[in-house]
Structure 1
Amino acid sequence: MLIPNEKRILTLLARNGRLSKRDIERLSGLGWATVVKLVSRLEKEGYIQRGGILERPSIGGVKPESYILSKRHPLAVGIDVEYTTTRIYLTNLMLEELASRQVSTPKLGTLESAVDFLENLYRSFGKETLLPHEAIAGIGVGFPTWLVPSGFDTFGLIEAELGKRLQVSVRVDNNVRAYTSFKHASDKANNNFILVTIRSGIGVGIVLNGKLYRGAEGKAGEISHFVIVRKGGELCRCGKRGCLETVVNQNVLVEEYLKRKGLRDTDTPMQKVFTEASGGDCDAQEILDGAARNLAYALSALILSININRVYLAGHFGASGQVFCQKVEEYLNELVYPHSSISIQYEDIVDSAFPLGAAMMILQDFCDFSIK
């Protein structure tokens, strides 16, 4: 187990790249003797390695030796389980993609079937990559809340059972919170924001004062189960009817568009709906306007509660994504405080951010990714 000052040094190297001992002394505030001792120990244990001579003078005119993070220690596995697709990544403290694999997510009706799936996926991935199990610091899993009936209770149960079977540290959280962690680590400007993803469901991650906010029971931001349709709504995965997720997700929007057009093309991407709306298609415009209004209605309650004015909306919308965000923004500014200015920024979903964010749940024991 690392001591806090060792973790501080690894964090500095993760943020700054190559550093000399004098750089580490200056940036960490640690004494010279402490830096020399800890750098030597971290190098011996394989956490860092020498990165070559820095082309700048040091004390006495001697060019200093630099240090960088090791690419092979510690290693973590991140798994993103989505309703249709599962991705598994091997990564390090630099969050590099060292190996990856994508498979279809089977129907997981029970906790046991979910753990069986994750165990088999991890073992087969290890065989493919020739990865020694003992080299893995742990496994982080991003998991949809309602993929199996036990909902939020699933996370702790998977951690315990999968960890027992594999004899390795396992941490499980909602997959969108994993994505949000990666977003926060890579975005050095913002310490307060809401991230909304629209895939086959709607996910929300919240960062408050530089920290990922989960709430008292890990349920913070679950606007996907905010009831929009009061009567006659579709049955949701959570067991209620008319939840936001039943009227706003990429599958529902595409299905509604195809229905209006009398088409049956099951391979139509959601991006086409946005493209057609931008081109003046009235059906597509009406569908997206309704989606923007419903999303804004659910988001307004969250924004009014925690007073955040920056929202990132991520999806596979293509070049027209920001136009949709502007519509959501218009509705939101009608619903929240007078004279408020809510900013909604679109970004394409980066699929790798889900498993890499999951791996960060393990790697945070070695590096503080929240430090800007």
Structure 2
Amino acid sequence: MPLTAPTLDLTADPIELTAALVDIPSVSGDEAALAGALEQALRTQAPHLEVVRCGDAVLARTHLGRERRVLLAGHIDTVPVAGNLPSRRDGDLLHGCGTSDMKAGDAVIAHLAATLTRPRYDLTVVLYDCEEVEAARNGLGRIERELPEWLRADLAILGEPTGGAVEAGCQGTLRAEIRTRGRRAHSARSWLGDNAVHGAGAVLARLTAYTPREVDIDGCGYREGLQAVRITGGVAGNVVPDECVVTVNFRFAPDRDADAAVAHVREVFDGFDLAITDLSPGALPGLSTSAAQEFLAATGTTARAKYGWTDVARFAGLGIPALNYGPGDPNLAHTREEHVDTSVISRCASVLTRFLT
């Protein structure tokens, strides 16, 4: 922890707390200042909580002997700053790096942790680092390895940006490289070679003809997608390429496990040289548990499917039902124009307070 951590008032209005969090830069891998400020604030302003530090993650929990435990989680890192700091207010909108993804959610979580001294569930708060980078660095993975007991709960709610809607589960994601090979030749004598880039046309034809599956799970409609996201090939402007690589991304519904997703992609590209380069399973909605139903009742809404992968999948892998619920707009995440509607911050704080008390 830095010797002089910035001072945060966790009892302040979550809108003001959001601005304070945004004004402490925390690009992935550089979260120490923000983690230190959060740790110091929780230790001094929330004596009812047990607080620990794990790397640049801060964890806090109650020990009230309640029958069930709810875990609130949010990542404190952001993508690189894009000339959008410090934060600025424009009417009901708060602009700045991380406002939507997801410091508004973090502010709500930290505020509730400090101010709800007698929740009806035991409460665990996990504010973690390195979500925006490769999975191997994700702070939740480190916590799972080093402090697994801190991730035990009956329901996990991630403050990911959902615009104040409940998004259940998440899609899985798979990336694969498909190689076509040929024979090099001088482009002036192209008939002596075999163009691997032209050979990739058959890969693209299968993608063009592909019909994505749609599936309903617990009332949430998931639509799959299989897309080419990168094509590389060729070594010079006068050489017939002897290799081309098409990278594809398969976003799959959570009723497929990782093995089923791999088998499906291999079936689609049967006959091609294919290598899986990245694979993360999705998460089922988990709406059948009583805690999830009680949370939905508190929101007064119905859940919708989460398009994209989030850390709810990590909790699902631990057998913990998990939902996405936060004030940010996912369409603004990672943009220069990132901002959050402050009225949604207030609404999310109110809903979570009602659910927890």
TM-score range, shorter chain: under 0.3
Higher-strand-fraction structure: 2
Q: Which has the higher contact order (CA 8 A, sep 6+)?
A: 2
Q: TM-score, normalised by structure 1?
A: 0.25
